[in-house]
Amino acid sequence: MSTDDLESDLTRRTENAPQELLTRSFFFLCAVLSIVTTVSIVVLLTTEAAKFFTITAPLMGVEGATASVVDFLTGTDWVINAGEFGVLPLVSATLMITIGSAVIALPLGVATAIYLSEYASARARSMLKPALEVLAGVPTVVYGFFALIYITPALEVVLPSIGTFNMLSASIVVGIMIIPMVASISEDAMSAVPDELRQAGYGMGATKFDVSTGIVVPAALSGIFSSFILALSRAIGETMAVTIAAGAQAKLLNPLNPASYLEGALPMTAAMVNLLTGDITGGGLAYRSLFAIGLTLFVITLVMNIVSDLVAQHYREEY
């Protein structure tokens, strides 16, 4: 951002020339487009979700079946045909994907970042970084197919009780997908740690292990934490991979129980895709639940991003 008073002083005279005004307004409009997008998303989701909930439906002029907000947020059954719209099973499934992929991606991502920033030679870095970007470049549909067609049969050999659709393979592929995000952002954060700190450590006789884990990682902590949140919100919002691999039956499972990962369940994003492509009545209550779920998802990712921003601000070390 142009904070320089010097720059503002130097350009003040020409600031109001028509050329300058024109270009400035064009760029401003481009930036404002992002706000317009967010506002549109919020308006769209809220108006349609308002048609879904009992409290707000009369405001939208909707009569007919609606669902109560309390039931939606606390209900444990998601059975469309029976009119039960409790979102908790969907949230628990999304939570399972998030936790599962976090278990894979966060340690591996940070380890990768440490290796790339502290241990790897320039040649190794020049080969590994592009390879990681390839990981990030594979489409999510392809990851979903990989999970369904190759990973699940492989897991069946080790864990025979695993279902065809299960949360474990979905978590594995989502985890692999977000490793590059964690790795690259954490690595940037670690690279930004000034060398003096490392040299000070070495100078005091610390080993590379000590320096990496005791000096660099804590110094880069805010960046690492941001990378976590970013990667996790990507995992929460992951659509096609979980639609293909995780299953289609809504079940309330315990995210902290490892055995529940062997079953299939229905995460929020997959529920949305299924609602839109299934045979339910168009425009009916079930259809509108699509937007209610979308709104919930949006709120969750928004909160996570705001928290991440605040924490990063709070813990950021200025060098």
Partner 1 sequence: MATGTDTGPGTDTAGGFGQVSRTVGVVFRYLLLAATMFGIVTLAVLLVYVANDAIQPLTADPGWYLTFFVTLVLPTGVAGAVLARRNPAALRLGAGVVAILAVSLLFSGGVAMVFVDIVSPILWLTYLLSLAVGFAGVVAIERFDRRLPFLARFGLSAAVLAVALFVLPGIIWRSPVFPTDGLIVGLTLGGVTAALVGRGAAARRGRRAGLAVGGLVLVAILAGTMAGPAVGVDSVPAAVLLSVAFVPTGAYAAGAAIDRPQDRTGLGFAGVVLGGVVVGAVAVDALGFAGPQSWVNWGFLTNAHSGTAANAGLYPAIGGSILLMATVALLSFPLGVGAAVYLEEYAPRNRFTRFIDVNISNLAGVPSVVYGLLGLGVFVTYLGQPTGTVLIGGATLALLILPIVIISSREAIRGVPDDLRQASYGMGATRWQTVKNVVLPRAFPGILTGTILALGRAIGETAPLIMIGAPNVLFSLPTELSSKVSAMPLQVYAWASLFASEDFYTKAVPAGVVVLLVVLLSMNSIAIVLRNRYEDEG
Partner 2 sequence: MTRTTASSVSRRRFLAGLGATGLAGLAGCTQSGPTVGGSDGLSGTVDIAGSSTVFPLATAMAERFEGQYSGVEINLQSTGSGGGFANHFCPGQTDFNNASRPIKEQEQGQCQDNGVTPVELKVATDALTVVVNNDADWVDAVTVEELETIWSAETTPETWADVRDEWPDEPLELYGPTDASGTYDYFIEAILGEEGGHRQDYSATEQDRTIVQGVEGSANAMGYLGFAYYTENSDAVKALGIDDGDGPVKPSLETAQAGEYTPLARPLFTYPARESLAKTQVATFARYWIANATNRDIVADEVGYVPLNSDEQTAQLKTLESAIQAAND
Q: H or E stretch including 89?
A: helix 88-114
CB 78 within 8 A of CB 271: yes
CA distance 111 to 220: 13
- Footprint on residues 161-180 left by partner 2 (CB under 8 A): 163-165
CA distance 228 to 293: 24
Among 302, 307, 315, 316, binds partner 1 (CB under 8 A): 302
CA distance 107 to 113: 10
Residues 50-89, one symbol each (x = binds partner 1 by CB under 8 A, - = not), give ----------------------------------------
Return the closest-CA partner of residue 92 out of 77, 102, 81. 77
CB 96 within 8 A of CB 250: no
Q: How far is the CB of 102 from partner 2 (least distance, A)?
A: 26
Q: How far is the CB of 30 from partner 2 (least distance, A)?
A: 30
DSSP code string of 220-242: THHHHHHHHHHHHHHHHH--HHH
294 binds, among partner 1, partner 2, none (CB under 5 to 8 A by kind): partner 1
Q: How far is the CB of 262 from partner 1 (least distance, A)?
A: 20
Per CB under 8 A, 155 contacts partner 2: no
Q: H or E stretch including 85?
A: strand 84-85
287 binds, among partner 2, partner 1, none (CB under 5 to 8 A by kind): partner 2
Q: Which residue has the tokens 């005791």?
A: 214
Residues 228-267, one symbol each (x = binds partner 1 by CB under 8 A, - = not), give --x--xx-xxxxx--xx-----------------------
Q: How far is the CB of 39 from partner 2 (least distance, A)?
A: 23
Under rule CB under 8 A, how many of the chain's residues touch partner 1?
107
Q: Which residues bind partner 2 (CB under 8 A)?
A: 79-82, 163-165, 247-249, 264, 274-284, 286-287
